[in-house]
Amino acid sequence: MTLCHFTTPRRIRNYLLNRREFAAKTLVLQSLPPKIIFDPANVCNLRCPLCATDV
């Protein structure tokens, strides 16, 4: 499977708008996030002081 298999014209338009807004440092975005990552684990070993994830 190639990247084009998952890409639609709507996603390409959103991605280009997102990159333009990022470059312009726009505060109120018109674009949707081009990528979302779900982390199924609630474990981290870095222990940042203010993090609620600290297990």
Q: Minimum distance between the CB of residue 46 and ligand SF4, rounded to whole angstroms?
A: 4
Q: Minimum distance between the CB of residue 50 and ligand SF4, rounded to whole angstroms?
A: 8
In the range 1-55, which residues lie near ligand SF4 by CB under 6 A? 44, 46-48, 51, 53-54
**Given the complex with ligand SF4, which of 27 and 46 has the nearer CB atom?**
46
Q: Which residues contact 19 (CB under 8 A, 6 or more apart)?
A: none
For residues 15 and 43, give the distance between their C-alpha atoms in angstroms, rounded to a whole number: 31
Q: Which residues contact 55 (CB under 8 A, 6 or more apart)?
A: 42, 43, 44
Which residues of this protein are in contact with ligand SF4, per CB under 6 A?
44, 46-48, 51, 53-54
